[in-house]
């Protein structure tokens, strides 16, 4: 229990946090360490974000050592390298209880909108301190049980809504060939994920199921469907628009992938934002090594999954995949089921529409006959983020006028032209818990006045440099993921320097340059 003096010493500024997933819990925990008393608004009745409602067979996508809190390691009882979703959720819940975060959370509280009182600030000048006496944020919150609303006025807002929920990405279908033309059912994978295991099993049982999409949720649903409808009489059909370098595991040819892409040395092969002439020349010189590393992993995946046999070799490189944060681990036995016929792959479908009997694919005269179509086509994360703002100007700042740009965030945390607000957990990495934690620590130091961000002009120049990097290495349409995976150490170095920490976190030359970096390197 807090003492009276401890409560009295808490800072007077009010911080609102939107979302009680991984990033929201971390933001809450580190705000508390600086003496704040944050309010967390969570639209659901429980914590955990995407882990609270997911497909039954889903497992962790990164090795357990890379997905853990720096001050709350996995318990010894969890021995799997890739724990199942229930184990991950229990770990997250244990973290929240250990640091007494639940008392800060308002459950069943959906934030409808944010508005900045006293008008919008000048578009010139500096972001200055995290707190300003000139403005407050009004947080319009709805109780999802009673539907009543309440407006909270706060000094700072931390938006932790993530990008993988609430607003499904529904493809555009040709005129008169939308879902309404189909006699069967069409749902998004989000709806399937929200079902309990028994309901989900009954929903697909005995049906010809087609899945559109070939990333994690699509593969997991296909595996569940093929298990429930065992055999080849009712195969689950996966319609694939873009083949991906989906991993069989994290250890190509027995070597931990971290040694290839998560070390300080590996990042020397990649051109970096603000790198200077020497590092630029070094990255150019090491380009053959960069190519070789990518081919090393590609050959492993090709052979392990027999991609050529299945016509599933991607056109882009593994580095493009990694730099887009679009990697997934293929469920065990997936391609065995493809070969036995309980899962069928329809490759490189350029466009999808519907007829009465099923899906119409470009270049095919006959429809793909189905009873149920599940769209595993991702989410419109940027739309969800921008529409939380009442101000059209702020919406445009977030999404761009043509809805084609990545969200422009300095240090992947704050928008230079939106005051007293941070966005955590939107920009991606290969392991989002690890990334969100150091960003939340950076933000806590900023809120505590330990450092100041530079001018708007300097921040926007830095954002433009990162934008150039993302466009250079990300695969095509996945550019908007704002992925920093291939420059994880470089990104963290910048945050460390801002906070006054030594960015070199390991002991000895060899470890510093050739050992993978992970969350435990940033303890204390």
The two tokens of residue 64 are: 């357990």
* Burial environment of residue 12 by CB neighbours within 10 A (0 to 12, 13 to 18, 19 or more): exposed
Say if residue 424's pLDDT is above 90. yes
Say if residue 40's pLDDT is above 80. yes
Put the strands of the sheet holding 358-361 in their side by side order.
352-354, 358-361, 368-369
Residues 266 and 430: beta-carbon distance below 8 Å? no
* Burial environment of residue 111 by CB neighbours within 10 A (0 to 12, 13 to 18, 19 or more): buried
pLDDT > 70 fraction of the chain, expressed in percent and rounded: 94
Residues 437 and 69: beta-carbon distance below 8 Å? yes
Calculate the dihedral angle through the C-alpha atoms of 291, 324, 334, 229, rounding to the nearest 10 degrees: -160
CA angle 414, 69, 111 (to 5 degrees): 45
Residues 515 and 261: beta-carbon distance below 8 Å? no
Say if residue 504's pLDDT is above 60. yes
- Cα separation, 261 vs 431, in Å, equals 13
Q: Distances in Å between the alpha carbon of 412 and those of 211, 422, 438, 491?
A: 33, 9, 11, 9
Q: Per CATH, is 169-244+332-377 categorized as 3.50.50.60?
A: yes
Angle, helix 276-285 to helix 287-305, in steps of 10 degrees: 50
Residues 486 and 319: beta-carbon distance below 8 Å? yes
Please tell me the predicted confidence (pLDDT) of residue 488: 94
CA neighbor of 292 nearest in space, from 319, 263, 327: 319
Q: Please give, one letter per residue, the 3-state secondary structure of 122-143.
A: CCCCECCCCCCCCCEEEEEEEE
Encode pLDDT of 392-415 as tens digits. 999 999 887 665 567 899 999 999
- Cα separation, 198 vs 50, in Å, equals 19
Most confident of 57-71, 120-134, 165-179, 472-486: 57-71
Q: Where in the chain is the domain with CATH 3.50.50.60?
A: 10-166+380-453, 169-244+332-377
* Whole-number CA gyration radius for the chain: 24
Residues 21 and 162: beta-carbon distance below 8 Å? yes
* Burial environment of residue 11 by CB neighbours within 10 A (0 to 12, 13 to 18, 19 or more): middle
Look-up: residue for tokens 């853990």? 68
Please tell me the predicted confidence (pLDDT) of residue 124: 47
Give the three-class secondary structure for 295: helix
- Cα separation, 102 vs 33, in Å, equals 15
Please tell me the predicted confidence (pLDDT) of residue 166: 77
pLDDT band of residue 8 (cuts 50, 70, 90) is very low
Q: What is the mean pLDDT of residues 111-133?
A: 71
pLDDT band of residue 163 (cuts 50, 70, 90) is confident
The two tokens of residue 91 are: 């770990």
15-18 and 39-41 beta bridge pairing: parallel
Determine phi and psi for 425, rounding to 5 degrees.
Answer: 90, 10
Name the CATH superfamily for 10-166+380-453.
Answer: FAD/NAD(P)-binding domain (3.50.50.60)
Half-sphere exposure in the Cβ direction for 47 (13 Å, CA): 26
Say if residue 4's pLDDT is above 70. no
Encode pLDDT of 305-316 as tens digits. 999 999 999 999
Residues 6+ apart with CB under 8 A from 60: 67, 82, 83, 84, 85, 88
The two tokens of residue 425 are: 């957990």
pLDDT band of residue 268 (cuts 50, 70, 90) is very high
């Amino acid at each position: 229990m807090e003492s009276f003096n401890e409560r009295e010493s808490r800072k007077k500024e009010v911080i609102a946090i939107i979302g009680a997933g991984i990033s929201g819990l971390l933001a809450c925990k580190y705000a508390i360490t600086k003496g704040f008393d944050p309010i967390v608004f969570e639209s659901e009745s429980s914590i955990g974000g995407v882990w609270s409602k997911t497909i039954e067979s889903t497992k962790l996508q990164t090795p357990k050592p890379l997905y853990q809190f720096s001050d709350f390691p996995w318990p010894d009882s969890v021995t799997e390298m890739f724990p199942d979703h229930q184990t991950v959720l229990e770990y997250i819940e244990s973290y929240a209880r250990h640091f007494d975060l639940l008392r800060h959370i308002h459950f069943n509280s959906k934030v409808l909108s944010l508005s900045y009182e006293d008008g919008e600030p000048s578009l010139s000048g500096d972001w200055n301190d995290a707190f300003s006496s000139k403005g407050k944020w009004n947080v319009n919150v709805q109780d999802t049980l009673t539907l009543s609303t309440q407006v909270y006025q706060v000094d700072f807002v931390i938006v932790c809504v993530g990008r993988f929920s609430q607003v499904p990405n529904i493809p555009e279908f040709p005129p008169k060939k939308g879902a309404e033309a189909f006699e069967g059912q069409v749902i998004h994978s989000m709806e399937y994920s929200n079902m309990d295991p028994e309901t989900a099993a009954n929903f697909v049982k005995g049906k010809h199921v087609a899945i559109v999409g070939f990333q994690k949720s699509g593969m997991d649903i296909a595996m569940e469907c093929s298990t429930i409808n065992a055999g080849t009489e009712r195969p689950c059909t996966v319609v694939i628009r873009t083949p991906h370098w989906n991993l069989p595991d994290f250890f190509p040819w027995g070597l931990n992938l971290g040694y290839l892409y998560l070390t300080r040395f590996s990042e020397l092969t990649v051109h970096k934002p603000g790198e200077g002439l020497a590092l630029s020349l070094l990255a150019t010189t090491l380009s053959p090594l960069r190519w070789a590393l990518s081919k090393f992993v590609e050959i492993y995946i090709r052979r392990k999954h027999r991609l050529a046999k299945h016509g599933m070799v991607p056109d882009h490189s593994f580095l493009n995949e990694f730099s887009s944060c679009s990697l997934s681990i293929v469920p065990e036995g997936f391609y065995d089921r493809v070969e036995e016929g309980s899962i069928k792959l329809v490759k490189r479908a350029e466009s999808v529409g519907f007829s009465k009997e099923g899906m119409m694919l470009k270049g095919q005269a006959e429809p793909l006959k189905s009873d149920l179509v599940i769209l595993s086509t991702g989410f419109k994360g940027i739309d969800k983020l921008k529409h939380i703002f009442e101000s059209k100007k702020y919406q445009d700042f977030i999404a761009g006028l043509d809805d084609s740009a990545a969200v422009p965030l300095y240090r992947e945390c704050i928008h230079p032209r939106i005051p007293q607000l941070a966005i955590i957990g939107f920009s991606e990495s290969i392991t989002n818990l690890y990334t969100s934690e150091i960003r939340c620590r950076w933000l806590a130091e900023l809120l505590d006045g330990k450092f100041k961000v530079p001018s708007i002009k300097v921040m926007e120049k830095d954002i433009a440099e990162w934008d150039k990097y993302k466009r250079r290495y990300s695969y095509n349409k996945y550019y908007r993921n704002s992925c920093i995976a291939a420059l994880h150490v470089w990104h963290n170095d910048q945050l460390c320097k801002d906070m006054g920490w030594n960015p070199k976190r390991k002991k000895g030359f060899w470890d510093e340059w050739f050992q993978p970096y992970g969350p435990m390197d940033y303890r204390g």
